Amino acid sequence: MSGDLFVIDDNPGDIRFIEEALFVSELTPTIHTVNTKDEALDIIHQRNEYKDTPRPDVVLLDWRLSQTTGKEILDVAKSVTPPLPVVVMTSSEPEMQSENAPVSRADQIIEKPTDPEMYVELLRPYLTAQ
C-alpha cells in the first residue's frame, strides 16, 4: 500500500513521530513535509521547487503553525480541483472549539495522537483507497 502524504507541521518532533509511525506500518506512503505557510501553498499549487511533486492523497495539517493558523492552507487545499482531503491536527480539540475555529471544511479534525498506531489507523482510509 502506498500513496502520497503531505504533512504541514512546524514541530520537527511531531513530523519524526509521524514518519516513524508509518515506517513501521504496512502503509508505505511517500511523505512530503513542509513547515511554513508559503511552502505549504507552493506544494498544494505544485509550483516553485514543488512543481514535480505528486498531488498528495491526503494532507495532515497542524492547525497551529508558528506564523499562522491552518485556515488559509485549509481554504486553499479545499479550493483546488479536485479538493484535497485534509485532516486537521490540534494539540487540543477544546482549544479549537473555544476559538470557534473555521475548520468545517476539513475532512477530519483530530487531537494529535500520542500513540503511533493511531496515525496508521487515521491515515489508512486515505492511503489505501487508490
Rounded-to-integer distance, Cα 19 and Cα 32, Å? 10
Q: Is the pLDDT of residue 15 over 90?
A: yes
Interval 82-126: pLDDT, tens: 999 999 998 766 655 555 555 678 888 888 888 889 999 999 999
CATH code for the structural domain at 4-127: 3.40.50.2300
Pairing of strands 86-90, 68-69: unpaired
- Opening angle at CA 109, ends 108 and 110, nearest 5: 115
C-alpha–C-alpha distance, residues 83 and 16, integer Å: 27
Tell me the pLDDT tens digit for each residue of 16-26: 999 999 998 88
In the chain, what are the domain boundaries? 4-127
Q: What percent of the chain has pLDDT over 70?
A: 88
Q: Give the residue from 23, 34, 55 showing the smallest Cα distance to 120.
A: 23
- The pLDDT, as a whole number, for residue 1 is 54
pTM exceeds 0.75: yes
